[in-house]
Chains A and B, each alone.
Chain A
Amino acid sequence: MIKPLLKWLDQRTGYKKIAHEALYENVPGGARWRYVWGSTLTFALVIQFVTGAFLWMQYSASTQTSWESVYYIQNDMFMGWFVRGLHHFTAQAMIVLLVLHLMQVLIDGAYKAPREMNFWTGLVLLLLVLGLSLTGYLLPWDQKGYWASRVVTNIAGITPIVGHGIQRLAVGGADFGTATLTRFLAFHAGVLPAGIVALIVGHIYLFRRHGITPKKPLKKADAAFWPDQVLMDSVACLAVLAAVLFLVLHFHGAELGAPANSAEPYDAARPEWYFLFLFQFLKYFPGETEIFGAIIIPTLIVAFLFVMPFVGNWKLGHRFNIGFICALLAGAGLLTYLAVNEDHHNERYQTAVAQADQAAERVVFLAKANGGIPPDGALALLANDPFSQGPKLFAANCASCHTYGGTDGLGHKLDLTKESASDLKGFASRVWLAGLTNPATVASRQYFGGTKFKDGDMVGFVQGHLKDLTADKKVQLEKVIMAVSAEAQLPGQQAIDKADSAQIAEGRQLLRNEISCVDCHQFQQADATAVAPDLTAYGSKAWLLAYLNNPADPRFYGKDNDRMPAFGKDGRLSPRELGLLVDWLRGDWAKPSS
């Protein structure tokens, strides 16, 4: 039944002859492991075409949907993270395989006459694959891809004469946006793969035309490509797949950073690891000499690769070529090491990476908590999130005087000797107030130590009246602290405030009587003689907003205010920003329910 059918097919297509030619190619000296690299690359490319096609079905190129559609693939779709992970890590494997293939071709002398054309198509293929990598890096439209791609297009822009035009064409306008994404996608999923397919056909045709360049001396008798070499190739492909699968499972697919934001600094901007050497190389070219590091030298190196077949024909030329490629790889390796090592010891970079990871995790959490992403895109989720915006607002507006747990809010350590105002981490919480009412710490830099209140009434009161307390008084003070802290209605203290409601009620009485806070502070009833900040609703959202609006209001510090700006009244921060800052200080943000 099958045989006549195959015969019928063969008469019409001649497939048997083609299959025979494909399978029974002579391998001089028999199958060897060193010949597997071309096949592994072809296999990797097949993975990329298959996974790329399926990713393409879900991807949506625009500034409001690129990150969002990748988020959907990564977090919502059945097996989406796995397909994306395969695509991502196979791309990295391809770079390694390209280098191995190139090395094998050079060492075995397979680039020399009459195989020049084959070598050149291979080099163009290498460049096209790097092109795929560059264009693919931008498509998720996350901070990492966005900033790295901007660097690449800016470098293209410094090319003499044509640079500016090239940059504008690549970007699709003056700046990155939807047109950049649609153009990059068309190159990544259409133009470059089509070019690669066409060149691979030519590359394999030329390879078959000239045959394998055997590594002398031959160790065994000649053999056909099928099945020995095919088996070796398959095993090598399996090893590649196993390595990729390990990475996919280990990292749970590819990373997706926080959505791209041109207004948000991104100190963790780095290219993919295989471009790190170029990244590092640029550091050595100051000012306008950048063009040497970014364009002239790399272009000369690539140009030299193209003339290698001619150089190889000279006496010692082949050795020179091999020496050159080894030096090139060693140099790239050294630069990569320097880049990694520098980052490893760069605290600022480490903090930036930690922040980037946190932002990426946060936006996914917000999207899930919201039951989806608003039509404006995921940036809107982050823009309205106190947890994300609070630290930045604090660092930009408060950290010149205040600290937050000893840092600027973003995690960067500050020179504490220069800071003057109180540390606001846990402001109005029981712990914070306990420190404020502790004679040992009230005049420390964490509270009033750096302000003019260092010698003020509060410090005097704490150091005078709250020193060496009896056990009874200590309990009373604790109750007062509970009462004042309860005024803040901090989300983090909801449970203990509720549980301690009896002590809190007592504390309110105590602060009016025994502990006599009301001698200076106003509490729950108007008091024109009060000279210190109002304790009514102290630390609550309304209190903080009013305080930030104008700390010199009689309700707060009045004319005694020490350098604290009126952020609201003077229009330094918008009401929205003030709200985000206050919510963050109070720990009032959506939290994972773990």
Chain B
Amino acid sequence: MHTPHPPEKQDRRDFIKKACCVALGGALGAVPIAAGVGMYLDPLVRASTDNKAGLKVRVTTLDALPSDGVPRQFKVLASHVDAWTKTPESPIGAVVLLRTSDAQKPVKAFNVACPHAGCFVAYVAQIPDLTPETPGYFCPCHNSSFKLDGQIARAGSPAARGLDELDCTIENGNEVWVTYQNFQAGTAEKVPLGA
């Protein structure tokens, strides 16, 4: 084969061509991939707009709470935006409420999400496998259990912290308002997520 250039010059030219191919190929692939990945990262980009402070919602009235301190579960209703849909007044989660003997803070509120992995905990009159007989909350998934005040009931509980207590105030005489928010599951620390 006839080559007009000495071999080393040809090699150098080939090398430049190959380098150009690799650079061009990389750039060509990078555009759609970077754009797509950028769009996929949207939830991280908008994380700063999450309502970490929680959403203050009227949940019920004092009359709906048993006076003997037995907890009761309530839906939390609020208008909220899910992606593009703005939903008027609809359930965004649930809380348990119970009366206390503390005049300053007559009602306690807990988020029903288990702080272990987020399953729905429920009130039980007797925590399974716990003596003496103790009422509290029990998680049906990994058997975490909590006392009525939200503290971990048993040593060796899968949950790393007690139930997440929510701010709760009484307004206009007998309305129970809760600042509803969710927290990161699985950590010993209570880290707020969006409402």
Residues of A at the B interface (CB closer than 8 Å) are 43, 46-47, 50-51, 53-55, 57-58, 65, 68-69, 71-73, 76-80, 82-83, 86, 221, 226-228, 230-231, 234-235, 237-238, 241, 245, 367, 370-375
CA distance A78 to B37 in the complex (A): 10
CA distance A55 to B40 in the complex (A): 9
**B50, chain A: closest CB distance, angstroms:** 15
Among residues of B, the one whose C-beta sits closest to the C-beta of A376 is: B85
Q: Are B85 and A374 neighbours in the complex by a CB distance under 8 Å?
A: yes
The reply on B21 being an interface residue by CB < 8 A is: yes
**B188, chain A: closest CB distance, angstroms:** 33
Given contacts A234-B28, A375-B85, contact A77 B42 (CB under 8 A): yes
CA distance A69 to B82 in the complex (A): 11
**B27, chain A: closest CB distance, angstroms:** 7
Provide the B6-31 mask, 1 if CB < 8 A to any CB of A, else 0. 00000000100110110011011101
Q: Are B28 and A78 neighbours in the complex by a CB distance under 8 Å?
A: no
CA distance A237 to B14 in the complex (A): 20
Q: Are B35 and A234 neighbours in the complex by a CB distance under 8 Å?
A: no
Q: Are B21 and A53 neighbours in the complex by a CB distance under 8 Å?
A: no
Q: Are B32 and A78 neighbours in the complex by a CB distance under 8 Å?
A: no
CA distance A371 to B84 in the complex (A): 9
Quick one: which of B52-104 are within 8 Å of A by CB? Answer: 81, 83-88
Q: Which residues of B contact A375 (CB under 8 A)?
A: 85, 87
CA distance A78 to B29 in the complex (A): 20
Q: Which residues of A contact B21 (CB under 8 A)?
A: 226-227, 230-231, 234
Given contacts A51-B35, A86-B32, contact A371 B41 (CB under 8 A): no
23 intermolecular pairs with C-beta atoms under 8 Å apart: A46-B32, A47-B31, A51-B32, A54-B40, A55-B39, A68-B85, A72-B83, A76-B84, A77-B39, A78-B46, A79-B35, A83-B35, A83-B36, A86-B32, A226-B21, A227-B18, A227-B20, A231-B17, A231-B20, A234-B20, A238-B27, A373-B84, A374-B86
Q: Which residues of A contact B2 (CB under 8 A)?
A: 221
The reply on B45 being an interface residue by CB < 8 A is: yes
Q: Are B29 and A46 neighbours in the complex by a CB distance under 8 Å?
A: yes
Among residues of A, the one whose C-beta sits closest to the C-beta of B86 is: A372
Count B-side interface residues using an 8 Å CB cutoff.
Answer: 32
**B9, chain A: closest CB distance, angstroms:** 15
Most-contacted residue by chain B among A65, A68, A226, A227 (CB, 10 A): A227
Q: Which residues of B contact A77 (CB under 8 A)?
A: 39, 42
Most-contacted residue by chain A among B14, B39, B86 (CB, 10 A): B39
Most-contacted residue by chain B among A83, A245, A370 (CB, 10 A): A83
Q: Which residues of A contact B20 (CB under 8 A)?
A: 227, 231, 234
Q: Which residues of B contact A43 (CB under 8 A)?
A: 28
Residues of B at the A interface (CB closer than 8 Å) are 1-2, 14, 17-18, 20-21, 24-25, 27-29, 31-33, 35-42, 45-46, 81, 83-88
Given contacts A231-B20, A245-B31, contact A71 B84 (CB under 8 A): yes
Secondary structure at the B interface, as helix, strand, loop or mixed, is: helix
Q: Are A53 and B36 neighbours in the complex by a CB distance under 8 Å?
A: yes
CA distance A370 to B84 in the complex (A): 11
Q: Which residues of B contact A230 (CB under 8 A)?
A: 21
Q: A50-B36, A372-B86 are in contact. List 15 more A-B contacts (CB 8 A).
A: A47-B32, A53-B36, A54-B37, A68-B84, A71-B84, A78-B45, A79-B38, A82-B39, A83-B38, A86-B32, A231-B17, A234-B24, A374-B85, A374-B86, A374-B88
Q: Are A237 and B86 neighbours in the complex by a CB distance under 8 Å?
A: no
Q: Are B85 and A79 neighbours in the complex by a CB distance under 8 Å?
A: no
Q: Are B84 and A241 neighbours in the complex by a CB distance under 8 Å?
A: no
Q: Are B32 and A69 neighbours in the complex by a CB distance under 8 Å?
A: no
Among residues of A, the one whose C-beta sits closest to the C-beta of B17 is: A227
CA distance A239 to B39 in the complex (A): 24
Q: Which residues of A contact B35 (CB under 8 A)?
A: 51, 54, 79, 82-83, 86
Q: Which residues of A contact B84 (CB under 8 A)?
A: 68-69, 71-72, 76, 367, 372-373
**B22, chain A: closest CB distance, angstroms:** 9
Among residues of B, the one whose C-beta sits closest to the C-beta of A75 is: B84
**B29, chain A: closest CB distance, angstroms:** 7
CA distance A65 to B24 in the complex (A): 39
Q: Are B28 and A237 neighbours in the complex by a CB distance under 8 Å?
A: yes
**A240, chain B: closest CB distance, angstroms:** 9
CA distance A50 to B34 in the complex (A): 10
Among residues of B, the one whose C-beta sits closest to the C-beta of A222 is: B1
**B85, chain A: closest CB distance, angstroms:** 6
Q: Which residues of B contact A53 (CB under 8 A)?
A: 36
Most-contacted residue by chain A among B33, B40, B41, B85 (CB, 10 A): B85
Given contacts A46-B29, A50-B36, A373-B85, contact A80 B17 (CB under 8 A): no
Given contacts A367-B84, A373-B86, A374-B86, contact A79 B31 (CB under 8 A): no
Q: Are B39 and A221 neighbours in the complex by a CB distance under 8 Å?
A: no
Q: Are B36 and A54 neighbours in the complex by a CB distance under 8 Å?
A: yes
Given contacts A227-B17, A231-B20, A371-B81, contact A78 B39 (CB under 8 A): yes
**B150, chain A: closest CB distance, angstroms:** 34
